[in-house]
Structure 1
């Protein structure tokens, strides 16, 4: 075989490797985001279509576990704790499995989130919540499998599952009231030690009113049962900037003692350097 033929074969081979034909997925992926109260909810699933087929009781058999969609597991993510079917569910991601029936569906929230089809072995210990919901028949058929978040209120919503002439609503509640009440209580009780500390260090680092920074730091320290060595270090620097060398030395000595106890050589050195600079004895 001559070199020309070999060269032509190499070109054909490279074109064959590089050639790609893109076609649409029969069950395209979809993502749904919804804020419910103060909770962010995200659903990640695939959407099969009827394409002239009878779905429930045929393509999706009754009384048999279903992955609730196509391809990989259908997943739902909550960024706060929620309540489903009377069960407390921690923030995180869960797969959704269903057991469709003619008049009711059983719905399961499951901790395994990687896989396709249904689990080869069902593990009840991985079910974080389950409930039974009624089937609602619709007059208008829906061609493509759809998940929605409906009836959104400040304290909860319904996870809607829609396909063919069937709609089921899976209610869940979110801790909006408890979160809001906690924030109200915190706000009415005034700034925390951490708030004062953050404000003081910001003012000092940005060259703002150092006397305000000093006052805020003193409030932070007075509200802290046992200030950490790194907090005392910041206090000493602010006091020095404010012209209170005596106070700065006192705070630095406390920071030095704490740093030695914690075995933090960096803070030991920084405090020793500052004490020397400020003329400590």
Structure 2
């Protein structure tokens, strides 16, 4: 009798639906409807890229773009005086394709995490050696390689989604970070 139950169990397992045991991947979607893609993230990833005179990349920022959605942002959603991932989801990463000056410090080319500490009138901008981190939970001050303080400015128009862009400046580029009714400007200079 035990052998009969074993044979029935093996037989039943061989003919059971793979949906019970596998994720819903393109190979396992029902009725061959195609892949089951995820919905758009509420804070989608974006990139800001700065190219030099010869169109070569000089700096790139990868970040997620949270939306305001009628929330109070600075001082509430993003608390003053605390390290912020400068976006949503994974911490924002900046890649420098050549050595650059940030403030009075030379930063070697490479990839760094860009954290900030927002205050009402100024932000501390931090480049940190920790990469591939979620949020600011894995932030360690001893891995900071540069910190500068920049003034907060008032935006002419509201900025619904956190936004970043580069603008050329004399000898480098300025990275602008704006959200809600504020923005900051971070200067990057080429090392000659």
Check whether TM > 0.5: yes
Shift of 1:69: 0.7
1:97 and 2:115 are equivalent in the alignment: yes
Where in structure 2 are the equivalents of 1:188-199 lying within 5 Å?
none
Higher share of residues assigned strand: 2
Which residue is equivalent to 1:157?
173
Correspondence list, 1:182-261, <5 A? none
**Residues 15, 75 of structure 1: alpha-carbon distance in 2 compared, 3 angstrom cutoff:** closer
Is 2:126 aligned against 1:108?
yes
Aligned to 1:31: 47
Match of 2:151 in 1: 134
In structure 1, C-alpha distance between the alignment counterparts of 2:124 and 2:182, rounded to whole Å = 14
TM-score norm. by structure 1 comes to 0.55
Distance of aligned partners of 1:22 and 1:87 in 2 relative to their CA distance in 1, 3 Å threshold:
same
Q: Which contiguous aligned blocks of 4+ residues in structure 1 show a shift greater than 6 angstroms? A: 5-8
Which ranges in structure 1 are unaligned for 5 or more consecutive residues?
A: 179-281
Q: CA deviation at 1:30?
A: 1.1
Q: Which moved more, 1:138-147 or 1:98-107?
A: 138-147
User: How far has the Cα of 1:57 moved from its partner?
Assistant: 0.8
Q: Could you tell me how far 1:132 is from its partner in structure 2? A: 0.5
Structure 1 residues 11 and 138: CA distance shift in structure 2, 3 A: closer
Shift of 1:107: 0.5
Aligned residue pairs: how many?
Answer: 171
Change (3 A) 1:133 1:57: same
In structure 2, relative to structure 1, the CA distance for the partners of 1:22 and 1:82 (3 Å cut) is: same
Give the conservation status (yes or no) of the 8 Å contact 1:65–1:118.
yes
Q: Which has the higher contact order (CA 8 A, sep 6+)?
A: 2
| CA shift in 2, pair 1:132/1:154, >3 Å | closer
Q: TM-score, normalised by structure 2?
A: 0.79
Q: Which runs of 5+ in 2 are unaligned?
A: 1-7, 30-35
Corresponding position of 1:170: 186
Separation in 2 of the partners of 1:121 and 1:24?
Answer: 27
Aligned to 2:17: 10
Compute the displacement of 1:139 (Å): 3.3
**Change in 2 beyond 3 A, CA 1:16/1:91:** closer
1:107-127 CA distances to partner (integer Å, 9 max, x unpaired)? 111111121111445233x22
Tell me which residue corresponds to 1:87: 105
Shift in alpha-carbon separation, 1:37–1:78, aligned structure 2, 3 A: farther
Computed over aligned residues only, the root mean square deviation of the Cα atoms, in angstroms, reads 2.4
Contact persistence 1:37–1:154 (CA under 8 A): no
- Higher Cα Rg, which structure: 1
